[in-house]
Amino acid sequence: MILLTIPIFYPVAVGPGYDPIWFGVITPPVGVNVYVVSGVAKDVPFEVIFKGILPLLVALIVCSIILIMFPKIALFLPSLMR
């Protein structure tokens, strides 16, 4: 799924001038992980799995907002590599 969507969303995300690292930081595969968990725990319905990841999803959204407000946080360690 990620291989199918990257060619579509990468130019849209990087086109306005965002660093390519941002694309990897803000786009974690939450849906893919839920699908894998539902495959492993076949007796657990999707609703229970989504209720279980809701606090993590909220934390992910909060972290994304913080990264958007302070972009140097996401680019600090990669800038040390240069």
Closest of 55, 56, 8 to residue 28, by C-alpha: 56
SS3 74: helix
Domain ranges, residue 48: 2-80
Is residue 75 within 8 A of residue 23, CB to CB? The reply is no
d(CA 22, CA 20): 5
DSSP state of 80: H
Q: For 26-76, how does the pLDDT look when each residue is reduced to its tens digit (9 = 90+)?
A: 656 677 778 788 889 889 888 888 888 888 888 888 887 888 788 788 778
Enumerate residues 6+ apart whose C-beta is below 8 A from 64.
26
Q: Is the pLDDT of residue 82 over 70?
A: no
Given pLDDT bands bounded at 50, 70 and 90, which one contains residue 1?
A: low
The confidence score (pLDDT) of residue 26 equals 61
Domain count, the chain: 1
